Structure 1
Amino acid sequence: MIWRSRLRHRKIMDKGDRKLHASKAHKEEESFLNRRKELFRRLPKIDRLMGRELTKELTEQYGYRAVLEAARKVEEQLRDAMRQQILVEEKPAVFLDTSGLSGQKDGLPVKLSDLKALPETTLDYTEYVLQEMKRLLAHRSQRQMQRVINATGVILHTNLGRAPLGDRLVSELVPLMTGYTNLELNLEDGKRGSRYDHFAENLCKLTGAEAAIAVITTRQQCCSC
């Protein structure tokens, strides 16, 4: 009878401990949710952001639509951080430049866990959003296509833009590319001409062929003689 009484007492104690732990976990979760709601309230409203002096300067530089999109994107990043419990402070940390991280989108990391915070450096939410907007807009305005060095050993490389043009050729092409030309116009009679007339004769002299035609497709470029 004694061991039954002890077993009953242990079950009662275990049940009480479980209730206590469950209650504590529930309170912690409720506390976090309340804190997160408070953090959401601290986020600046978009219309107020668009009225700030810095935002007006950014609008003059990048345009209203681009600035508005940047503001919404940065705020959504902050909300995601709060939902994922990454950001639970009353003031957001100033994040390091993450432009070199993999998996980035528009200059901001897709995974918020990749954000790196500078310790003991904080801004209020309005200033933080403004600074991130400025950084995001500056990143988007950078030229996406850049000059690179071809060290592959392949001279005509499709991924690298094929063959580069010489300075002399570029200088001759600029006037033609920045205006209208007689591509298919016969200047002698004013009637429609053929674009092949501009190179066919010279190409035949160069190759010794009787006739020449150029064929350009989206998959390949070739010249038939």
Structure 2
Amino acid sequence: MSGKPDTKASAGERQDTASPAGAESGAQAAAGAIHLPAVHLILSDAACAPLIAEYGRVQTLEAARMLLAELRGMMLASRRDGMPPTGDTGIPAILAMLATRLRETNRSPLRPVFNLTGTVLHTNLGRALLPDSAVQAVAEALRWPMNLEWDIDTGKRGDRDNLIEDLLLELTGAEAATIVNNNAAAVLLMLNTIAQGKEVIVSRGELVEIGGAFRIPDIMTRAGAVLREVGSTNRTHLKDYAEAAGPQTALMMKVHCSNYAITGFTKSVELPELAPLSKKHNIPLAVDLGSGTLVDLEQYGLPHETTVRETIAGGADLVTFSGDKLLGGPQCGIIVGRADLIAQIKKNPLKRALRVGKLTLAALEPVLALYRAPDLLPGRLTTLKLLTRPAAHIRELAQALLLPLQAALGVGYEVSSEPMMSQIGSGALPVDQLPSHGLVVRAAAAGRISNALGILEQRLRALPLPVIGRVAQDALWLDLRCLDDHQRQRFTDQLALLAL
């Protein structure tokens, strides 16, 4: 490409001069012309060549036309109001505005952020972060055709569930497994397959609602199952299940109350007590674990959460759980259990509608493989690494970042390093918290707390890599549990943009 600007332009480009739709009206003409460069002169300018190379001529042309039309409208409005024209409307200035517009238009709405909310598995921020092995596997699956449903050994069509089934059986002790796009889909598919048109017995104390207005009674209705409530909100006994069991009962179901806790005068029927009753009546017993973990978290200093293996060993015929919560993998819903019931589920036409693609399977397999070495898991599984991060380590990071943040915010704010409590998130262990540390920002002047914090919270979200904290108790809390050491430099590099 020569260094000379391209002065050639299509007829359509040459028509876009001072007016977007032909000649101005008589009143406008009488008031004088609006002087703006023609669109073909803007596109032929040498400084526009990089924009055309990056965004294409068609998109750049359309953006230039829209920009000129807006500038023309603002200039006419200023003239009508008797105001002098403002702003530079030369080609360099217009190209700068055009570059900004094209960059903003083409910026992806799905962007990385700093999660300083104190919630590790934050549903609104994408839940679990994948370990490097999973990231690399997804990148490979993006670049190559994969044997998603092709048996390389036989040269015939295969089953995509087979790619991860052996690992799941090894880790859970189940007879069979299948996978769909999330745990809500897993529950829906299970209920529709096993209990369509029949009753499902559930304790009233387990009729949960989770984020996004997902309610067990609603999903029962959508699945075509009939909900049979037993017991009361705070107390359910084994006899309640026994008295409800009958010819129309297709399933007994326990739902893990992962997003709340009932305390006080309570009673629930645990799995070892309920399983013999379900076997006696030949009624399958399903457990929706929700979060689901494959290892005993107590060995890593975390609160105990019932594992999938414990649930299968306790007598559950089917277990559903998420892939992107405590398991630490991609979004998916996993169903494990009896081989005959899993076979029925896989034959349901809904299974095809709810199945996962190669990227999910590519990410899930290496995550599951990490569980074969539980002693190495805290250093390899990103979710567990964040959950087990020592508070002392986080405190050191907070103290190192205090002065840079204070310098960027200036005298209008006071920054302190303080202890705080993180939570696991996504309904996992809702009453358990993790000692953490972070930065707390307060308004320096009384009487402007709400406005000052609101402005700061907005400015943090407007950074190139948005910072998401939480406002509480007249302060902005930045929990640093999820700020990895390798992200620290990127965090500090953009603090200068906060300077007032």
TM-score between both structures, scaled by the size of structure 1: 0.59
Shift of 1:165: 0.5
Q: Structure 1 residues 156, 79: CA separation in 2 closer, same or farther (over 3 Å shift)?
A: same
- 1:166 aligns to 2:131 (yes or no): yes
The amino acid across from 2:134 in the alignment is L
Match of 1:67 in 2: 60
- 1:54 aligns to 2:47 (yes or no): yes
The amino acid across from 1:63 in the alignment is G
* Greater helix fraction, Structure 1 or Structure 2: 1
Give a deviation string over 1:131-185, Cα, whole Å, max 9, x none: 3223323444555543222233433333212211011222344323320111111
The amino acid across from 1:76 in the alignment is A
- SS of 1:198's equivalent in the other structure is helix
- 1:223 aligns to 2:334 (yes or no): yes
- SS of 2:157's equivalent in the other structure is coil
TM-score between both structures, scaled by the size of structure 2: 0.29
Tell me, yes or no, if the aligned pair for 1:214 and 1:224 is still in contact at 8 Å: yes
Q: Structure 1 residues 75, 124: CA separation in 2 closer, same or farther (over 3 Å shift)?
A: closer
Identify the match of residue 78 of structure 1 among 68, 71, 75: 71
Tell me, yes or no, if the aligned pair for 1:62 and 1:137 is still in contact at 8 Å: yes
- SS of 2:334's equivalent in the other structure is strand
The amino acid across from 2:334 in the alignment is C
Match of 1:24 in 2: none
Tell me, yes or no, if the aligned pair for 2:165 and 2:177 is still in contact at 8 Å: yes
Runs of 4+ with deviation above 6 angstroms: none
Q: Structure 1 residues 79, 193: CA separation in 2 closer, same or farther (over 3 Å shift)?
A: same
Match of 2:173 in 1: 208
Match of 1:45 in 2: 38
Shift of 1:197: 0.9
Shift of 1:64: 0.7
The amino acid across from 1:46 in the alignment is V
Match of 2:149 in 1: 184
Structure 1 residue runs of 5 or longer lacking an equivalent are: 1-32, 94-122
Q: Distance in 2 between matches of 1:71 and 1:196?
A: 50
Tell me, yes or no, if the aligned pair for 1:74 and 1:133 is still in contact at 8 Å: yes
The 5-angstrom pairing of residues 1-225 of structure 1 reads 37-40=31-34, 42-85=35-78, 88-89=83-84, 92-93=86-87, 123-142=88-107, 144-216=109-181, 221-225=332-336
Higher relative CO (CA 8 A, sep ≥ 6), structure 1 or 2?
Answer: 2
Q: Structure 1 residues 215, 76: CA separation in 2 closer, same or farther (over 3 Å shift)?
A: same
Structure 2 residue runs of 5 or longer lacking an equivalent are: 1-26, 186-331, 337-500
Q: Distance in 2 between matches of 1:173 and 1:127?
A: 43
* Greater strand fraction, Structure 1 or Structure 2: 2
Q: Distance in 2 between matches of 1:177 and 1:87?
A: 58
Shift of 1:214: 1.0
The amino acid across from 1:44 in the alignment is P
Q: Which structure: larger Rg? A: 1
Match of 1:98 in 2: none
- SS of 1:223's equivalent in the other structure is strand
Tell me, yes or no, if the aligned pair for 2:151 and 2:157 is still in contact at 8 Å: yes
Give a deviation string over 1:58-81, Cα, whole Å, max 9, x none: 323332112212211221221231
Shift of 1:125: 3.9
Q: Structure 1 residues 214, 67: CA separation in 2 closer, same or farther (over 3 Å shift)?
A: same
Q: Structure 1 residues 36, 200: CA separation in 2 closer, same or farther (over 3 Å shift)?
A: farther
Q: Distance in 2 between matches of 1:57 and 1:210?
A: 59
- SS of 1:146's equivalent in the other structure is coil
- SS of 1:188's equivalent in the other structure is coil
* Percent of aligned positions that are identical: 29
Tell me, yes or no, if the aligned pair for 2:184 and 2:333 is still in contact at 8 Å: no
Tell me, yes or no, if the aligned pair for 1:81 and 1:87 is still in contact at 8 Å: no
Q: Structure 1 residues 163, 89: CA separation in 2 closer, same or farther (over 3 Å shift)?
A: same
Q: How many residues align?
A: 162
Tell me, yes or no, if the aligned pair for 1:36 and 1:82 is still in contact at 8 Å: no
Q: What RMSD in Å do the two structures reach over aligned CA positions?
A: 3.0
Q: Distance in 1 between matches of 2:130 and 2:82?
A: 51
The amino acid across from 2:121 in the alignment is L
Tell me, yes or no, if the aligned pair for 1:196 and 1:214 is still in contact at 8 Å: yes
Match of 2:454 in 1: none
